[in-house]
Structure 1
Amino acid sequence: MSQPAMQSAAASPEPPSPRAALRRESVALIANPESGGNAKDEASIVRAMEALGEGATLYRWSPEADIVATVHKALDDGAEMIVAAGGDGTAMAVAGALLGRDVPMAVLPLGTFNFFARGLRLSEDPVEAARAIREGEAHPIRVGRVNGQVFLNNASLGIYPEILEAREDIYARWGRRRIVAHWSVVKTFLRFQRPMRLRLTADGKTSQHRTPLIFVARSAYQLDFFGLDGAKVIGEDAFAVLVAKGRTRSDLFRLAWRLVRRRAREGRDYDLVRAHDLELDTGRTRALLAFDGEKRREASPFHFAMSDAPLWIVKPADAAQGTPA
């Protein structure tokens, strides 16, 4: 190597550690215009961009496009932090593209429910959230994977994926609002026929179940929101697996009412299983899988494991240490 080249290489600054404070010049905001109400409001995105600073650049993305290509484009453009602007589905997609990279990810909550962002203690006001991101710090976390698919909050089999199918039809007609999302639950319950048969293997121990829903959680915030047990399990870096009890429509409505009132109880309404490694076999060739509000048909059995590589996630400076969601 020539002397000038050696001097140039020595003068190149090392990339900042993701753990450092995030007062960065170059920030990429990836927005999903198909998320909830705020994401459709251009004024909200413009105000959030102003709060992120002059170095912020907006990238548009939709679920039909390749999120990995969008993230790579932002990184090639020099982004030092990626901000996922949208709902839980958008955050999950960006997380999958950044998993294992030494680039911090932040979430600007512009979706319908924003469970992951709320678990990070971020305001649902775009400007307040953007300011908290700018002053925040990045911490490494492990995320869940099912058949290779990253998820941040939960993945499930049974009636919840069917609710998501009904929700898409209702959203198309009435728009994305929380009350509309709740109506999709009622509509799906009325069509319920019978619980599924399922074989569950948790850390090598196998059991048989008949259940309308199995819910694999990685979000302590979401469990606390509904008054469900399992936050301690997640704090131990494991999956909290909730196996719902109920074989009739009446059972489902009763369980839903107890969830709304935060009165669902382990043993009566669901069983709680702790697992670091989990396999669910539906006995069918394929089944509908839900993950962070998205869904698709996948081959059974379903294998759940924690990611080996970390995801560097930005939390507000005053947020508690540990697993953020």
Structure 2
Amino acid sequence: MPATTSAPTPASDAPLFILLNAGSGAAETDERRAAIEDVLQAAGRRFHLELLEDPEGIDEQARALAARARDEGGIVVAAGGDGTINAVARQAVEHGCPFGALPQGTFNYFGRTHGIPQHLTDAVHALLRASIRPVQIGTVNGRIFLVNASIGLYPKLLEEREHDKQQYGRSRFVAALSALKTLVLPHRRLRLSLEAEGKSLHLRTSTLFVGNNRLQMEQVGLTGVTPDVADGELSALAPKPVGKLRMLLLMLRGALGKLADTDDLVAFGFRRMTVRTPLYGRRRLKAAVDGEVLHLTTPLQFEALEGKLLLLVPGPDDAVPG
């Protein structure tokens, strides 16, 4: 979530170093590249655009672009979904340079939260007139996340969703059916010991979800339960041990934005939290960080860091309601 202070509008001649995810097919990638280049060339703005063709190389490409942005007084920009935006933002934070986003994913929680238009041409125009605002990031074991991080069932759900999208197409309908399928299949529960804000909590849960995105919390109806992360906190959510039917009802409540009405969910806000697996000691767990599935070693250390990302946000005339 954004902090309340804003920095001045960046220099009008600051060069843009753009990483465009080419994972949507050649024709669509060419169309997106042309849309970006047409606007920037018409505006007379200096820029350098690279295509991300191999996802395995995203960190290396993002690191090189962020270094150039830092050295040349420029701005590093991500054009893609939440995973691409996360990777480039991570390098922007490490290199201390401003960061711009041109969201092109399915849900676009990060872009929508900050009023960035989803239409690519509009987003590029807004970028040219944007101002810099320091915004909050979350970290888990030092790994940055802008939207959410989780362990347990949710990473499995994301893996199944990606598999199903490749087979049946990328849409919210496919994502919802994939999630439903994952929930009804057998899954193991985690035994966790949490320490946050001087308090301890022992949980048995299918998944632990940590959010850094007000819009996502609003959509499932939890802003009245968990503190607003604009106050410098992250939101922790964990379903209680329930059967499949009640888990499906919990999912339905989330889809309807009514999770605040259920007793089957543990939810609280925090600035720092340690998560341990008491029965196993140090253990590698599958985690999802802004949609990327990876492995992290316990104990997990979550932390909210205010004002660490220097984000270009649209002005009032360009901002789009989330």
Using structure 1 for the length normalisation, give the TM-score.
0.85
Per-residue deviation, 1:105: 0.5
2:59 to 53, 67, 87: 67
Classify the secondary structure of the residue corresponding to 1:170. helix
1:30 to 19, 44, 65: 19
> Could you say which residue in structure 2 is the equivalent of 1:11?
none
Classify the secondary structure of the residue corresponding to 1:288. strand
> Separation in 1 of the partners of 2:37 and 2:217?
32
> Separation in 2 of the partners of 1:289 and 1:195?
14
> Could you say which residue in structure 1 is the equivalent of 2:288?
290
Change (3 A) 1:25 1:98: closer
Per-residue deviation, 1:208: 0.6
CA contact (8 A) 2:8 2:131 kept: yes
CA contact (8 A) 2:220 2:253 kept: no
> Separation in 2 of the partners of 1:227 and 1:289?
24
> Separation in 2 of the partners of 1:296 and 1:117?
23
Per-residue deviation, 1:246: 4.2
The C-alpha deviation readout for 1:186-232, integer Å capped at 9, x for no partner, is 12112134432211111231111111222111111111122222664
Larger radius of gyration: 1
Classify the secondary structure of the residue corresponding to 1:99. helix
> Could you say which residue in structure 1 is the equivalent of 2:118?
124
> Separation in 2 of the partners of 1:235 and 1:97?
23
Classify the secondary structure of the residue corresponding to 2:259. coil
> Could you say which residue in structure 2 is the equivalent of 1:242?
237
> Separation in 1 of the partners of 2:202 and 2:215?
29
Per-residue deviation, 1:175: 3.1
> Could you say which residue in structure 2 is the equivalent of 1:8?
none
CA RMSD of aligned residues (A): 2.7
Classify the secondary structure of the residue corresponding to 2:35. helix
Amino acid of the residue matched to residue 56 of structure 1? F
CA contact (8 A) 2:66 2:91 kept: no
> Separation in 2 of the partners of 1:309 and 1:236?
12
> Separation in 2 of the partners of 1:267 and 1:163?
22
> Could you say which residue in structure 1 is the equivalent of 2:38?
50
1:151 aligns with 2:148: no
The C-alpha deviation readout for 1:84-124, integer Å capped at 9, x for no partner, is 10011111101111114442101101112111001111111
- Of residues 26-35 and 89-98 in structure 1, the stretch that sits farther from structure 2 once superposed is 26-35
Per-residue deviation, 1:255: 0.8
> Could you say which residue in structure 2 is the equivalent of 1:315?
313
1:219 aligns with 2:213: yes
1:272 to 267, 275, 289: 267
Change (3 A) 1:50 1:74: farther
1:76 to 65, 68, 71: 68
Matches within 5 A, 1:46-195: 46-52=34-40, 53-54=43-44, 55-61=46-52, 62-73=54-65, 75-76=67-68, 78=72, 80-195=74-189
> Separation in 1 of the partners of 2:194 and 2:67?
40
> Could you say which residue in structure 1 is the equivalent of 2:3?
none
CA contact (8 A) 1:100 1:309 kept: no
Amino acid of the residue matched to residue 263 of structure 1? K
> Separation in 2 of the partners of 1:247 and 1:173?
31
CA contact (8 A) 2:227 2:233 kept: no
Per-residue deviation, 1:314: 0.8
> Separation in 2 of the partners of 1:279 and 1:26?
40
Amino acid of the residue matched to residue 171 of structure 2? R
> Separation in 1 of the partners of 2:27 and 2:74?
23
Change (3 A) 1:114 1:38: farther
> Separation in 2 of the partners of 1:128 and 1:181?
26
Amino acid of the residue matched to residue 17 of structure 2? A
> Separation in 2 of the partners of 1:67 and 1:308?
23
Change (3 A) 1:83 1:147: same
Classify the secondary structure of the residue corresponding to 1:128. helix
